[in-house]
Amino acid sequence: MAERVPYEEGYFTVPADPAEAPRLLGTRCRACSEHFYPRRATCARCLSDDVEPVALGPRGTLYTHTFLHAVGFGEHKSKLQGYAAGQIDLAEGPRVQAVLVGKPGDFRIGMPMELVLETVAQDKEGRDVVMYRFRPAA
Ligand SMILES: [Zn+2]
């Protein structure tokens, strides 16, 4: 299996073991315990800068979802299929917007979701460039 690298550094983990769930890289405020995603230097709730990096997820609850009948960002194929997008409430609190893995009819508001990585491209070194998605939890 090809080595995996994140689409962009600093937003999610890419475990060396593909069977291990990825995590989102967030922030926890030490003053008021609020969690944020993505990372912040200052708490948006109490304005404290006493914050620490934390790993969030990999599970959450589907808050809402829709299906976009449009070519996905970065895709240049004319075979129009579309993709699902949704908002997931993480157990720690933050609501995250993401592309969902599945087809229309696969999703219900309130269902448990899990974070996964999807290969979206190969880089010049032949590594898999991955992005995070959510799918209905097994
Ligand atoms: Zn705070």
By the 8 A CB rule, do 93 and 63 touch?
no
Mean pLDDT over 16-37 rounds to: 96
Helix, strand, coil % (nearest 5) of the chain? 0, 45, 55
Residue 92 to residue 55: CA distance in whole angstroms: 10
pLDDT value of residue 1: 73
Say how many Å lie between the CA of residue 94 and the centre of ligand 1.
13
Q: How far is the CA of 79 from the centre of ligand 1 (A)?
A: 46
Position of tokens 């960002």? 73
Output the CA–CA distances (angstroms, integers) from residue 62 to 42, 54, 135, 136, in the order listed. Answer: 27, 21, 10, 9
Give the pLDDT band of residue 20 (cuts 50, 70, 90): very high
Regarding predicted confidence, which is higher, 3 or 1? Answer: 3
**pLDDT score of 130 more than 80:** yes
DSSP 8-class letter at 71: P
Residues with CB under 5 A from ligand 1 (ion): 29, 31-32, 34, 43, 45-46, 48
- Considering the chain, what is the average pLDDT of its residues? 93
What is the Cα 128 distance to its own chain's centre? 17
β-pairing verdict for 24-29 and 112-122:
unpaired
What is the Å distance from ligand 1's center to 41 Cα? 11
Q: How confident is the model at residue 93 (pLDDT cuts 50, 70, 90)?
A: very high
Query: Comparing 35 with 81, which gets the higher pLDDT?
Result: 35
Contact 63, 100 (CB under 8 A): no
- Ligand 1 centroid – CA 137 distance (Å): 30
> Could you give the CA distance from residue 109 to residue 88 in angstroms, rounded to a whole number?
10
CB 86, CB 134: distance < 8 Å: yes
CA 126 / ligand 1 centre spacing (Å): 42
Look up the pTM and report it: 0.90
pLDDT at 52: 98
Q: How large is the average pLDDT for residues 70-97?
A: 83
Adjacent-strand bridge partners of 53: 27
